[in-house]
Structure 1
Amino acid sequence: MSAAAEPTIWDRSRLGITVGTVVLIFLAAIESLAVTTVMPIVARDLDGEALFAVAFSATISTGVIGMVAVGAWSDRSGPRAPLYTAVALFAAGLLVSGFSSDMHTFILGRLIQGLGAGGQTVALYVVVARVYPPQLHGRIFAAYAAAWVVPSLIGPFLAGAVTEYLHWRWTFLGVAVLTAAAFALVVSRLRGVSLDADAGSDADGPADAAERPRGGIALRMLLAVLVAAGAVTVGLAADAPAAAGGPIALAAVLVIGFSLLPLLPKGTLRAVSGLPSTVLMRGIVAGAFFAAEAYVPKLLIDRFGFSPTVAGLALTLAAIGWSGASAVQGRYGDRLGSARITWIAVLLMLTGVAGLLFVSAIGADPWIVIVAWGLAGAGMGLLYPRLTVLTLAYSTTANEGFNSAALSIFEASGSAVTIALAGLGFALLPVLGTGYLTVYLLAAVLLLFSLVPGLRMGDGAGRTVSAESAPR
């Protein structure tokens, strides 16, 4: 077959699906980065400072439920209805948040949005498996990865400008409108396209369906709900009386821990060498990084009077650092090895957090925050794809799905719980008169602790996987 006749993701039969799904991911990325920039303004406008962290953890928490539910639904009846439902929930959540008149309604919208965001990702991956031939999977996933690059660079600045010159509500309502337009394109192009499991290969036929575990979905759904409810409860504890907030949060964390155990590789919480430590590392560093990042624009806006547009530059520089370091990891990751990457990455992130602590403690030049957070982003960029590569390297065809899901679930859970705990600490345990130090100290402690699993990850089980293809 000539090169001109080879199928591509841009063929006429797939063009609309490719464009529509890439735009959906692009918009989800824009919104995810925009929220971090505008949340200080939202919390102030809706008189919801105590619930600041819940606005982040709520979406991450319900995203776990969306992942599990849509994965099971897609296996049973194909991805069409799950995808349509997930996108509708995502848009509905944006509308509820955008039109909200109080912080509780805003958080309700974030909860709905999380269900859709988590489910949308899973449904799109199943659509890829059913619509694109195997030789095109790498190309469409590369397009999806590229859909995060531009939002990472312009999303925070754009969200700040929209908030400053229009209103923060348009960062939600505008994305909702654009999502509806992209969704309409996807629906029109999927009409008449077979998304049945047996449309691709014989391996997906009745025999495979008969081998699916029975009763497992119900248990996973229950556990996902418990994890999400626990993470949201930790965040809501910040709005409870001081004497009750701590015990409520502790009980919720215990529920989360027990609920997560069946969803993770054995030995994860004990930092057993290999895959368990890899999964544990992902949850710890993601929690530390994203919890600290949630309070970076807030520090610049509330303490130093930066505009949302300028405050967003810290997130932009972190995104540039993340992207550049990811490229280094893709080229030199195997040569550096997991232990060396762990030391370099954790040192970069600790340097970034130290800059935040320095500025928040003594009121030093706030521009240090922007530079420091760029270094932290580089640390995450160096480490993050390595963890995905190691997970696949430690997996076989029999457990790739479970291990990949465990990595995503623990990342989401670790991020949600840490952000919620940071919010609780910010509200109830101010250090030296400022809650910012509490948040950044929590991040620093977690990063130091991450060295335990980080140095026990190893370098895989001999299976080579391209680091450049690992998703963010």
Structure 2
Amino acid sequence: MTPEGPFSARFRLITLGTVVLVFVAAFENLAVTTVMPVISAELDGSALYAVAFAAPLAVSVVGMVAAGQWCDTSGPRVPLCASVALFIAGLVVAGLAGSMEQVVVGRLVQGLGSGGVTVTLYVIVARVFPGALQPRVFGLMSAAWVIPALVGPFIAGVLGETVGWRWVFLGVAFICVPALGLLLPVMRTLRRAQTGTASGFRIPRLLWSGLLAAGILALSVSAEFGGAVALVVAVAAVVVAVVAIRPLVPRGTLTGRTGLPRIVLTRLVLAGGFFATETYLPYLLTRDYDFSPGQAGLALSVSGVAWGAASLLQGRYAARLRDRAVLTAGTALVAAAVAVTLATAALGLPGWIAIAGWALSGTGMGLAYPRLSVLLLSGSSHDDQGFNSSALNIADAAGPAVALSVAGLAFQALPGAGADGFARVFGLGLLLALGAVALARGAAPRTAPSAVSGARG
């Protein structure tokens, strides 16, 4: 008997709907990263550049927690619809914005929706697909980043230079509508019997998620206060964020306890180092190297393609590859890529070196990210899939949000916001990436390969 695949009759609609939604989110992510320097210049919003990225990540934590509890209570159908609706609303607000502050508001709404979408997709994969198929499904989800990586930055650059950056947001909003329509029949196939036994929303967890978001947002704008006040606000915000995240992740996460806690912490640190660097790389290329937005977007393209290819390969050969070796190689490649970017900024090397080197980061993330998702799902029971999926995705959001906030503080508040400012940002990224290398060794057992896998964010 031929084994069922992700596109067999039983799973075809669910697989297709999931991949399309990831495709749309991937295009938006890469396109906005490419065109944000243009938005910042037109709206005089350089002071809010980092905030425009950190803010949606911070608020997405609330969406993740709410969606995770909602999924555990009644299944993923309704939370997915609500999350997609919020995502679209945020895109419209940002696309129609007349100031950088309004762009940030739209990004906040968008982030709330994107956080919910990510968690519900994880729960759908965990509940619908057998463990043997999950590596292939998550590999397809990562592969959905390949085409956006190839064309997203280019299209965003062209739009920014011709009809305007607003269509990067509004165009994606239009695409989301048919994507949601495709998913509606998919979600009807999820039987109510597949829901968990959770007793309902845990209000304290929602409050903690709101406090975490508030702490990250305060950190992201702390540079605006200037001087000693900025430092005091930043330190207080970090303390609030650390206190608030503890109830939202497995016990022992902040101390790196072996098992699920170490998996979540590794993901948090790795995501922080990668995305802080990737967000500022197009900014470096457009400002200091006179690259066009489309040319600067090549860095995102090569990384995205490498990410998708590496993820597909590790998914195909998941049964042969040991978790510890994959995680160590993946995190080391990310650290090497960030080191190349740092050297480019600090030594004034040609910009194409940073673009070529950034392909290593995509390869590393394509290896490490899926395998961390594997380990998390394989260690989760049916009733805590929502909580653990939420925790992993909170790490995906909180790590980059805090890293971007600190990067923005270093770039804006400290003297020398030119090449030295970029070097400080990339130095922070390297420190985090090296931390992920150290954590990765304890995030997986020494022996058996995993039975399941995961995808880009």
Structure 2 letter corresponding to 1:39: M
1:298-333: CA deviation from partner (whole Å, max 9, x where unpaired) = 111111111111111111111222233334544667
Aligned to 2:440: 454
**Aligned residues of 1:10 and 1:18 also touching (Cα < 8 A):** no
Q: CA deviation at 1:84?
A: 3.1
Q: CA deviation at 1:270?
A: 1.7
Cα distance in 1 for residues equivalent to 2:318 and 2:125:
28
Determine if the alignment matches structure 1 residue 354 to structure 2 residue 354.
no
Structure 1 letter corresponding to 2:258: S
**Aligned residues of 2:126 and 2:377 also touching (Cα < 8 A):** no
SS at match of 1:265: coil
Structure 2 letter corresponding to 1:120: V
Aligned to 1:270: 255
Q: CA deviation at 1:387?
A: 1.8
Q: Summarize the alignment of residues 80-99 of structure 1 with structure 2, pairs less than 5 Å apart.
A: 80-99=77-96
1:1-34: CA deviation from partner (whole Å, max 9, x where unpaired) = x98xx998676x9977765554333211110111
SS at match of 1:110: helix
TM-score, with normalisation over the residues of structure 2?
0.87
Cα distance in 1 for residues equivalent to 2:454 and 2:13:
25
76-85 or 377-386: bigger deviation = 76-85
Report the CA distance shift for 1:401/1:109 in structure 2 as closer, same or farther (over 3 A).
Answer: closer
Among 131, 134, 155, the alignment partner of 1:158 is 155
**Aligned residues of 1:162 and 1:171 also touching (Cα < 8 A):** yes
Q: CA deviation at 1:362?
A: 3.0
Determine if the alignment matches structure 1 residue 305 to structure 2 residue 302.
no
Q: Summarize the alignment of residues 100-115 of structure 1 with structure 2, pairs less than 5 Å apart.
A: 100-115=97-112
298-307 or 134-143: bigger deviation = 134-143
Q: Summarize the alignment of residues 11-22 of structure 1 with structure 2, pairs less than 5 Å apart.
A: 22=19
Determine if the alignment matches structure 1 residue 320 to structure 2 residue 315.
no
Aligned to 1:437: 423
Cα distance in 1 for residues equivalent to 2:45 and 2:240:
26
The number of aligned residues is: 454
Q: CA deviation at 1:256?
A: 0.9
Q: Summarize the alignment of residues 220-259 of structure 1 with structure 2, pairs less than 5 Å apart.
A: 220-259=205-244
- RCO greater where, 1 or 2, for CA within 8 Å and sep 6 or more? 2
Among 55, 60, 80, the alignment partner of 1:58 is 55
Question: What percentage of residue pairs aligned between the two structures are identical?
Answer: 44
Structure 1 letter corresponding to 2:423: L
Q: Which runs of 5+ in 1 are unaligned?
A: none
**Aligned residues of 1:145 and 1:471 also touching (Cα < 8 A):** yes
Determine if the alignment matches structure 1 residue 32 to structure 2 residue 16.
no
Structure 2 letter corresponding to 1:171: V
TM-score, with normalisation over the residues of structure 1?
0.85
**Aligned residues of 1:72 and 1:217 also touching (Cα < 8 A):** yes
**Aligned residues of 1:429 and 1:438 also touching (Cα < 8 A):** no
Aligned to 1:465: 450
Q: CA deviation at 1:226?
A: 1.1
Cα distance in 2 for residues equivalent to 1:221 and 1:15:
34
Among 173, 177, 184, the alignment partner of 1:176 is 173
**Aligned residues of 2:23 and 2:144 also touching (Cα < 8 A):** yes
Q: CA deviation at 1:78?
A: 5.1
Report the CA distance shift for 1:435/1:342 in structure 2 as closer, same or farther (over 3 A).
Answer: same
**Aligned residues of 1:393 and 1:464 also touching (Cα < 8 A):** no
SS at match of 2:297: helix
**Aligned residues of 1:264 and 1:406 also touching (Cα < 8 A):** yes
Cα distance in 1 for residues equivalent to 2:186 and 2:266:
39
Q: Which runs of 5+ in 2 are unaligned?
A: none
Structure 2 letter corresponding to 1:38: V
Q: What value does the CA root-mean-square deviation take over the aligned residues?
A: 3.3
Aligned to 1:420: 405
Cα distance in 1 for residues equivalent to 2:42 and 2:263:
40
**Aligned residues of 1:38 and 1:159 also touching (Cα < 8 A):** yes
Q: CA deviation at 1:451?
A: 3.5
1:410-453: CA deviation from partner (whole Å, max 9, x where unpaired) = 22111111111111111112458531011011111222233432
**Aligned residues of 1:164 and 1:309 also touching (Cα < 8 A):** no
Cα distance in 2 for residues equivalent to 1:18 and 1:447:
32
